[in-house]
C-alpha cells in the first residue's frame, strides 16, 4: 500500500505507544519550550516549540539573512494551518509529535532525546536522517516540514530583501 501522511503518523505514533510501556522515562522527557511570539491559532505551546526548533535548522538564516525565530516562521506556519482543513492541520501536529519523540528517535536512529533539546548539529543530522531514510514515510514527513518552513520563510519581506529579490517587475505597457 502506498504510504500516506496519515499512515506515516499512525505507524510512527503507534510504534511509540507500544514502546512507551517499557520506556516511561523517555516518554516523560520534556521539550525545550520557547514562548510563542503571538496568539496561537492551531498549535499548542509544545507543538509551536517543536516547529520552531525544526524551522531554525531548515531556515537557519545568518550571513545577512534573518533567523527563523526572528521572523517567527513557526507562527507563520500556525497561521497557515488555521486556513487549512482541520484534518490536514491535525496530521501536521501529529507529525510534530512523532518528530520530537525520543522513542521514535531511539527506534529509528538511536536518538534517545527530544528533537528540540538536541544541539543544532545533532538536529541537522536528524533532519538528514529523515530526508535520506530508506522508509518513504520518513522522506514524506521531511518534505512536509521542509515545504511548510521554507514556504513561510522565503515569503517574508526581510528574507526577500536579504536575497536581493526586488519583487515582481513593475511591468510595462506593451500592446500585443
Partner 1 sequence: MTGSIQSAATLSADLDTDCDVCVIGSGAGGATVAAGLAERGLSVVILEEGGHRTRADFKGNEGDNVPMLYQERGARATADLAVSILQGRTVGGGTTVNWTTCFRTPDRIFAHWADRYGMPYSAAAFEPHFAAIEERLNIAPWQEERVNANNRVLLDGARRLGMEASILRRNVRGCADSGQCGTGCPYDAKQSMLVTYVQDAVGAGARLFANARAERIEVANGRAVAVHAVAMEDHRDRATARRLVIRPRVVVAAGGAINSPALLLRSGLTEGPVGLRTMLHPVVAITGDYPQPIEGWAGAPQSVASHAHIDRGPDRVGYFLETAPIQPMLAATAMPVFGTAQRDRMRTLGHVASLIAVCADGLTPEETGGRVSLRTDGRIRVDYPIAPALVEAWRDAHRTLARLHFAAGATRAASMHLEPVLMNSEADLPLLDAAPYGALRHAVFSAHQLGGCVFGREAETSVVDPDLRHWHVGNLFVVDGSVFPTGLGVNPSESIYAFAHRAREAIAAAV
Binding site for partner 1 (CB under 8 A): 2-6, 57-63, 65, 80, 82-85, 87-88, 124, 127, 131-132, 136, 139-140, 142-144, 146-147, 150-156, 159-160, 163-165, 167-176
CA distance 93 to 21: 23
CA distance 143 to 146: 5
Report the nearest approach of partner 1 to the CB of residue 145 (Å): 9
26 or 141, CB closer to partner 1? Answer: 141
Report the nearest approach of partner 1 to the CB of residue 133 (Å): 9
CA distance 46 to 134: 29
Q: Facing residues of 65 across strands?
A: 62
35 or 172, CB closer to partner 1? Answer: 172
44 or 82, CB closer to partner 1? Answer: 82
Q: Facing residues of 62 across strands?
A: 65
Q: Which helix (H) or strand (E) holds 62?
A: none
Report the nearest approach of partner 1 to the CB of residue 27 (Å): 28
Report the nearest approach of partner 1 to the CB of residue 142 (Å): 8
Beta-carbon neighbour count of residue 85 at 10 Å?
9
35 or 121, CB closer to partner 1? Answer: 121
> HSE on the CB side for 46, CA within 13 Å?
14
Amino acid at each position: 500500500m502506498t504510504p500516506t501522511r496519515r499512515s506515516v503518523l499512525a505507524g510512527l505514533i503507534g510504534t511509540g505507544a507500544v514502546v512507551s510501556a517499557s520506556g516511561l522515562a523517555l516518554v516523560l522527557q520534556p521539550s525545550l519550550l520557547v514562548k510563542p511570539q503571538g496568539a496561537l491559532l492551531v498549535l499548542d505551546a509544545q507543538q509551536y516549540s517543536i516547529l520552531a526548533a525544526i524551522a531554525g535548522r531548515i531556515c537557519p538564516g545568518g550571513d545577512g539573512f534573518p533567523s527563523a525565530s526572528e521572523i517567527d516562521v513557526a507562527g507563520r506556519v500556525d497561521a497557515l494551518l488555521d486556513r487549512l482543513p482541520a484534518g490536514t492541520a491535525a496530521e501536521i501536529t501529529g507529525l510534530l509529535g512523532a518528530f520530537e519523540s525520543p522513542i521514535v528517535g531511539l527506534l529509528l536512529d538511536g536518538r534517545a532525546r527530544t528533537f528540540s533539546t538536541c544541539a543544532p548539529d545533532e538536529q541537522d543530522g536528524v533532519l538528514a536522517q529523515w530526508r535520506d531514510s530508506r522508509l518513504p514515510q520518513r522522506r514524506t514527513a521531511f518534505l512536509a516540514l521542509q515545504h511548510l518552513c521554507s514556504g513561510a520563510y522565503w515569503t517574508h519581506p526581510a528574507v526577500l530583501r536579504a536575497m536581493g529579490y526586488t519583487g515582481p517587475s513593475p511591468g510595462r505597457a506593451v500592446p500585443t
